Amino acid sequence: MSSAIDRYLEANLEAYLQETIRLCAQPSVSATGEGVLECASLVEQILRQRGFQTWKIEGYGNPVVVGRAQGRSERTLLFYNHYDVQPPEPLELWDSPPFEPQIREGKLFARGAKDDKGEFMARIAAVDAARAAHGGELPCGVLFVVEGNEEVGSPGIARFVQDHLDLLRCDGAVWEEGGIDQEGRPGTSLGRRGILAVELEVQTLSRDAHSGSAHILPSAAWRMVRVLASLKDENERVLIPGFYEKVRPASEEDLELLRRLPDSEAYLRESFGVRGFVNNLSGFELRKAVFNPTCNIQGITAGYQGPGTKTVIPARASAKLDFRLVPDQDPTDILKKLRAHLDAEGFTDVRIVHADHMFPFRTSPKHPLVDLAARTAQEVYQKPYQLIPMTGGSSPVYAFAGPLGIPVIDAGVGFGVSNRTHAPNEHIRIQDFHNAARHIARILEGFAGI
């Protein structure tokens, strides 16, 4: 059946690219709300056109679109995707408008082309190809869950899953993201770190003041700088008491998987223009560092930041932070410890005005779904499959895998770290879109038998 899948996708690739362009042209910025409702309706339409029974479920932030289709086997494979995208700013750094998709030099450029509309459409293409290769019937059941809040932390997704367990029953999942590395080697992430994302705010004056009074009036900017300095030392160790007490060290199995991974140090240096990594890490220790939890400053806002000079004392300052967490850290526990640390350090006036979180998650490298993904990837990409024990990012995968008791892999359109995800000129390579659809269709084909 694999040859029939490939013939179908080759013959219809242009049509799927045009459908992806249509989806990417629809703004869907969850941070601002721009276009999200229209995009949810478009996603539902795409699923209905394929004969999926659909539900557009409200009450968890932006609508969650669910689509289910029956197959020959009673086994069901879930695809998780999201239709929301990151804000496109700064607009001046785009070579073409972010919501006016363009194909140039074998690549599709648009906000959402990689994250996550291109991923979603590659799976739609795979579903169509598997159905065509099996005489119009899917080899197994397919369940799509396409949410609209992932880019703002999926705050309602865990509750959504708990409220709809019967609707979401399945036997395994293919998550968003995935693809090949810079050398064309396919693989899957077996684990994702958790996250606690917070915004801190402090106000020292009722209004900005003339800096000629800086000898008597307290600056919110300096206050925030001292707050941030209290969180981490120069060796990157987080100073919140109890922060590391539940950290599960990397296992021997994890370390062995890391040893098998290729060295990407030179590629990372070139891609990010970095001279040295944190704590001068290199080699195996650089790969192993993904098992270290982090404290990152996303951004700081205070005072005047326009052209020239404005001699003011900032009355208010804020900072956005995220903590990437490893098994078995609990983001709700870390939030409590952060508040206790601020109070103990004398920063009782510093408010935590916003907090989102996700939990860490792991899948066993020995699960049959992992083996199926590896075998089918070898057929498509003609290169060995990489099992990555942990990746640095976070995802609501935990909300599904735990309650539903399912394994989770990823397979997708990514190409190393070169897709400019979340950045200007986000794009996918058309060949990666094509190969992702070929791979996923093969996973669908073999899922009933594992």
Residue 432 maps to which CATH number? 3.40.630.10
Q: Is 70 exceeded by the pLDDT of residue 26?
A: yes
Q: Is residue 270 part of a domain?
A: no
Across the beta sheet with 186-189, what order do the strands follow? 386-388, 186-189, 179-180, 414-415
Strand order in the sheet with 141-147: 53-57, 64-69, 141-147, 76-82, 172-175, 408-410
C-alpha to C-alpha distances, 258 to 3, 57, 254, 285, 391, nearest whole angstrom = 34, 40, 6, 10, 11
How far lies 127's CA from each of 50, 98, 386, in Å? 9, 28, 24
The DSSP code for 230 is T
Q: What are the structure tokens assigned to 370, written together? A: 């992992």
Looking at the structure, do residues 32 and 117 belong to the same domain, yes or no? Answer: yes
Note whether residue 282 is domain-resident: no
Query: What span, in angstroms and rounded, lies between the C-alpha atoms of 431 and 440?
Result: 14
| DSSP label of 61 | S
Please measure the distance between the N-terminal and C-terminal CA atoms of the chain and give it in whole angstroms.
Answer: 17
Verify that 204 and 305 share a domain, yes or no.
Answer: yes
Is the same domain home to 62 and 86?
A: yes
Q: 236 and 340 share a domain?
A: yes
**Residue 164 within a domain:** yes
Contacts of residue 186, defined as CB under 8 A and 6 or more positions apart, other chains included, come to 179, 180, 377, 378, 380, 381, 383, 385, 386, 411, 439
pLDDT tens digit sequence for 425-437: 999 999 999 999 9
Residue numbers of the domain that contains 19: 2-192+360-447
Between residues 1 and 142, which one has the greater pLDDT?
142
Per-residue pLDDT band for 334 (boundaries 50, 70, 90) equals very high
Are 412 and 177 a contacting pair, CB within 8 Å?
yes
Backbone torsion region of residue 447, taken as left when φ is above 0, otherwise alpha when ψ lies between -120 and 50, otherwise beta = alpha
| Domains contained in the chain, number | 2
107-109 and 102-104: which strand pairing?
Answer: antiparallel
355: confidence class by pLDDT, cuts 50, 70, 90:
confident
Judgement on whether residues 135 and 53 belong to the same structural domain of the protein: yes
For residue 143, tell me if it sits in a domain.
Answer: yes
Instruction: Round to whole Å and give the CA distance between 321 and 298.
Output: 5
Asked if residue 229 and residue 106 are part of one domain, the reply reads no
- Report the C-alpha gap between 342 and 170 in whole angstroms: 43
**pLDDT for 417:** 84
Q: Write down which residue in 338, 358, 378 finishes a domain.
A: 358
| 259 in any annotated domain | no
Is 305 a domain residue?
yes
DSSP 329-382: --HHHHHHHHHHHHHHTT-TT-EEEEEEEE--EE--TTSHHHHHHHHHHHHHH-
Same domain, yes or no: 122 and 145? yes
Structure confidence by residue, pLDDT tens digits, 69-115: 999 999 999 999 999 999 999 999 999 999 999 999 999 999 999 99
β-sheet bridge partners, residue 317:
202, 302
Share of the chain above pLDDT 90, in %: 93
Q: Structure tokens of 376?
A: 């089918």
User: 117-155: per-residue pLDDT in tens?
Assistant: 999 999 999 999 999 999 999 999 999 999 999 998 888
Q: Is 168's pLDDT higher than 90?
A: yes
Whether 285 maps to a domain, the answer reads no
442 and 380, same domain (yes or no):
yes
CA-wise closest residue to 127 among 369, 449, 439, 450: 439
The answer to whether residue 275 is domain-embedded is no
- Where a domain ends, among 339, 358, 377? 358
Residues 389-419 have pLDDT tens digits of 999 988 889 999 999 999 999 999 999 889 9
Based on the fold, state whether residues 87 and 116 are members of the same structural domain: yes
* b/e map 309-322, b = 16+ CB within 10 Å: eeebbbbbbbbebb
The residue written with tokens 């952060």 in the block is: 338
Same domain, 305 and 411: no
- pTM of the shown model: 0.86
Residue 239 CB-half CA count within 13 A: 13
Indicate if the pLDDT at residue 242 is higher than 80. yes
Listed residues 358, 374, 409: the one ending a domain: 358
Shared domain check, 350 and 442:
no
d(Cα 148, Cα 324) in Å, to the nearest integer? 22
Residues 163, 198 within the same domain:
no
pLDDT on residue 416: 87
Contact, 238 vs 256, CB < 8 A?
A: no
* Diameter over CA atoms, the chain: 80
Q: Sign of the CA dihedral 62, 358, 374, 380?
A: positive
Token pair 């809040």 is found at: 149
Per-residue pLDDT for 1 more than 80? no
